[in-house]
Chain A
Amino acid sequence: MSQAEARQTQRVVLQVNGQRHELDVEPRWLLADVLRHQLGLTATHVGCEQGVCGACTVLVDGKPERSCLMLAVQAEGCEVTTVEGLTPAAGLSPLQAAFQQHHALQCGFCTPGILVTMEALLRENPHPDEATVREALSGNVCRCTGYQFIVDAVLAAAKEGR
């Protein structure tokens, strides 16, 4: 395509965290980039842009998906949820509170992707065992914690019925 066309944008309507956003995007823009840089929802992080690390995971219609492997134009008509959308106006959600209580984060960069993934897990399976938690977590790389306290936090949140 020609250079002029290259920078053509198209209008999309995105539904993110219950809010409607109308904006112009280039078709090639990744959902992660649009969430972060157009909508200012910077909790979603970008770590590899090939779907491996899981830092950019968001919920699309309630299911965890990689926002680096989805174009923003494709998200039209879907309900996208980021960590901002899972966070109460004040304080922490029960899962977030369990993460703090169990020291389930260090640098915090992978944490939002892990929170949305574990939130989805607990909605599908409110009482997972450790193996189930680890399997669901295995698509999110954390370089700091060695995962143990994350697993503990998720199991504790499940036990408390969140």
Chain B
Amino acid sequence: MAVDMLKPQFTGARVTRLEDARLLRGQARYLDDIHLPGMLEVAFVRSTRAAARITGIDVQEALRTPGVVAVLTHADLPWEIRNDGFGVTQPVLARDEVRFVGEPVAVVVADSRYAAEDGVERVKVSYDPLPPVLDMEQALADAPRRVHSQRANVFFHSEHTTEGFAEAFAQAPHHLQLTFRVHRQTGVSMETRGCAAMPDPASGRLTVYVSHQSPHGVRAQLARVLGIPENELRVIVPEVGGGFGIKAMFYPEYVVVTALARKLGKPVKWVSDRTECLLSDAHGRDSVHEVAVAFTEEGRIVAVRDRVLGDNGAYPFPGFPGAVGESNWATNMLPGPYKIPHISLTVDCVFSNKTPLGPYRGVGGPIGAQVQEGMVEAVARHLGKDAMEVRRVNLIQPEDFPYRTATGNVYDPGSYSESLEAALRLLDYEGFRRRQAQLRKQGRYLGFGVCVFVEPSAMAHSEAGSTPYEAAFIRMEPNGTVTAALGLGPTGQGHETTMAQIIADRLGVDVKDVVVLHGDTDSAPFGGGTGGSRSGTIGGGAAIRAGEQLRAKLVKLAAHLLEAAEEDIELADGQAFVAGVPARGIPVRELARIAYTDVNRLPADMPPGLEVVARYQPPAPATYSNGTHAAIVEVDIRTGLVRVLDYAAVNDCGRLINPLIVEGQIHGGVAQGIGSAFLEELRYDEHGQLLTTSLMDYLLPAATDVPRMRVQHLETPSPSLGGFKGMGEGSLIAAPAALANAVSDALAPFGVLVTELPIRPEQIVAWVQAAGQGA
């Protein structure tokens, strides 16, 4: 009832962020800004081999290094992260075998990071090399060997085929086979990972600071691995400088640092350097999709077979083995916005001697979209049709909702066709085709690429764990200001603002009077944290529900004091008043004062205080955002370099909480998409050495690589409370596919269809040369 009555003042408005002042003034406190007297710093000795037996570790010289306090190995810290279900454990410091370059082998504790690194250099690890497993096809057959001797390299296999697939596939008049590949990439948050731990001698508890997306997730894992009761662990997530999924995982370093603090009885801090990050942050992507597509004369796709192979690296992250997450998402969402009645999927995930795979924004979404839109492009080309026509033939239409896909998802209503047409209008598709034809005559190759995406959000299961709900605690203080706490783990998304907007609207107070706490397990209610684009929808739902409950208390009190019926009370601009009679009112802050300090005036059945905690679980296992990205690129066929000339993103994430923040998310995702399509690749050599261990080798998009983007919002509300849908990942799902198709379109005269990302300039030159020689 109240939701319908509400005239939101803040929800949906371009509210500037409450977080910004401290960040702009340089007063925000990130992990490395935490310093305590006597704090020790650590550095890790990391494996220099992809696969080897450890035959000895000599720490004597390291121990003699000035400033070094301790050097510890597995013998001293024998903790292991268990990955139930896969028959694999990960020692937090390698026990007798190393399985990837960068795996922690020993830890040096010193009075500064400089001294700790001096110590690291002096730890002598002897290795007996083993043949590394580096190729996923070979790994399937346990060649050259097993990564974990006790089990096969294939650790996950699944199959799903719709009934009638074989007939539908066979009967279709046209067939194409395509292989899509995405290479390893990673999140590269500008703030590196880090962790600090300190014992509290008075209480006996441990406080752990960690740059992370899920405070309660870290607490649960630390408690499990170290055998510490959860109420003796306090996890605090300070300001976090970006996460993008990599900071949702639980890493061995966190166990080591926490165990060290307990063992040494001192505060201990570890801050990763950039090389450590590239070696040890969760890698993402890295899968192959062998696709066969069957379609009709008019371009209707009737059946798709996809055999997926994913390389998980050496260990499964607890709760989220990356290759499984990637492959499941990619195949589950393979139909995207298209009505594809028949699907046959086979997924295999293997271990290898590479860095463990985990989530990176969008997870399997980008490769799924790449397959989906690459197929469309190929079908159009095969039939000699415009790819937009093929899209129109296949798109799910408004009357089809709720739509059940062949993979079992039920899509809530979206604006699939509308978003495509809007994107084409934004970039003047017809006009572009004319310009493209003219410029080709001058030897300039422009291309237009599109991705119509569907983004599953607010999922019951995601990298944030299996917490399908969120909780919000709200307290109105005696002076009428509001303190709220949620179990989210924002890494730049602005939850302190968006949650405050939602709450302020419920309570009729100014958004600036709402403080949103998060990231401290001592103050925040248990929550899943941030990941899988869940915070706005699930956290926002919890904020609405808690806000409604607190509102009900205020209304009840106001009705009592104003001698009016509760249904006649409105809350706005800091006042509670009788509808239509603004003069008959009372300030909300006066209600708060009474609720705490003048309790004789409360209704007989109303307890003192203004506090609520409420939980919200959305009605569906996911809500689906959608939209269309369109890109215009120019390919320099002499150099192989690609410039993005124009870009449009039409986005539908249901009701907007804050368009400014949504646009920021879209812009950032597109920039990362440009990186994914053209720049970012983690490359290994034949020995399993990572070659891209610095930002000189792992290239990130700069301001000169990203064009000005046009953003248009559509709003198809979700069935979730507030009508919100998650939108943190859609732009990085859509952008790589749109850009790949734009390059394919530009190079269509050379018969090029891009199926592998990222696209390297030397590939483009080679494709063009090959076409020239073939002609």
For residue B428, CB closer than 8 A to chain A, the reply is no
Q: Which residue of A lies closest to B702 (CB)?
A: A138
Q: With a CB–CB cut-off of 8 A, which chain B residues contact A143?
A: 187-190, 242, 244, 668, 671-672, 700
For residue A122, CB closer than 8 A to chain B, the reply is no
Within 8 A of B (CB), among A13-53: 26, 28-29, 36-37, 41-50, 52-53
Cβ A134 vs Cβ B703 within 8 A? yes
Cβ A53 vs Cβ B190 within 8 A? yes
Cβ B667 vs Cβ A146 within 8 A? yes
For residue B27, CB closer than 8 A to chain A, the reply is yes
Cβ B703 vs Cβ A49 within 8 A? no
Cβ A87 vs Cβ B695 within 8 A? no
Kindly identify which residue among A47, A96, A144 contacts B492, using a CB–CB cutoff of 8 Å: A144
- CB contact under 8 A between A144 and B668, given known A92-B21, A151-B703: yes
The interface of chain B, by Cβ under 8 A from chain A, is: 16-17, 19-21, 23-30, 32-33, 35, 64-67, 114-115, 118, 187-192, 239-242, 244, 273-274, 491-494, 660-661, 663-664, 666-672, 694-696, 700, 702-704, 706, 708-709
Cβ A108 vs Cβ B239 within 8 A? yes
Q: Which residue of A lies closest to B491 (CB)?
A: A107
Q: With a CB–CB cut-off of 8 A, which chain B residues contact A103?
A: 16-17, 660-661, 663-664
Beyond A107-B492, A109-B241, 9 extra complex contacts between A and B, CB < 8 Å: A50-B696, A83-B24, A87-B25, A87-B26, A110-B190, A143-B700, A144-B190, A146-B666, A147-B706
Name 25 interchain pairs, CB-CB below 8 A, sorted by A: A26-B114, A45-B190, A45-B191, A45-B241, A50-B694, A82-B26, A87-B26, A103-B660, A106-B493, A106-B664, A107-B239, A107-B242, A111-B23, A134-B704, A138-B704, A140-B703, A141-B695, A141-B700, A143-B700, A144-B190, A144-B668, A146-B669, A146-B671, A148-B709, A151-B708
- The segment from A3-11, A59-67, A71-79 found at the interface with B is A3-11
> Nearest Cβ in chain B — how far from A118, in angstroms?
11
- CB contact under 8 A between A105 and B33, given known A48-B274, A48-B694, A143-B700: no
Kindly identify which residue among B21, B67, B666, B702 contacts A100, using a CB–CB cutoff of 8 Å: B21
C-alpha gap A29/B26 in the complex (Å): 22
Contact code string A104-141 (vs B, CB < 8 Å = 1, else 0): 01111111100100000000000000100111011111
Q: With a CB–CB cut-off of 8 A, which chain B residues contact A3?
A: 64-66
> Nearest Cβ in chain A — how far from B641, in angstroms?
15
C-alpha gap A42/B67 in the complex (Å): 24
The interface of chain A, by Cβ under 8 A from chain B, is: 3-4, 6-7, 26, 28-29, 36-37, 41-50, 52-53, 55, 82-84, 87, 92, 96, 99-101, 103, 105-112, 115, 130, 133-135, 137-151
Residue with the greatest number of chain A CB neighbours at <10 A, chosen from B33, B241, B661: B241
> Nearest Cβ in chain B — how far from A108, in angstroms?
3
- CB contact under 8 A between A149 and B664, given known A3-B65, A109-B242, A142-B190: yes
> Nearest Cβ in chain A — how far from B680, in angstroms?
11
C-alpha gap A29/B115 in the complex (Å): 11
Q: Which residue of A lies closest to B19 (CB)?
A: A108
Q: With a CB–CB cut-off of 8 A, which chain B residues contact A45?
A: 30, 32, 190-191, 241
Q: With a CB–CB cut-off of 8 A, which chain A residues contact B273?
A: 49
Nearest 9 CB-CB pairs, A to B? A43-B26, A109-B241, A107-B492, A146-B667, A108-B23, A106-B492, A146-B671, A83-B26, A137-B703
Cβ B668 vs Cβ A146 within 8 A? yes
Q: With a CB–CB cut-off of 8 A, which chain B residues contact A37?
A: 35
> Nearest Cβ in chain B — how far from A120, in angstroms?
15
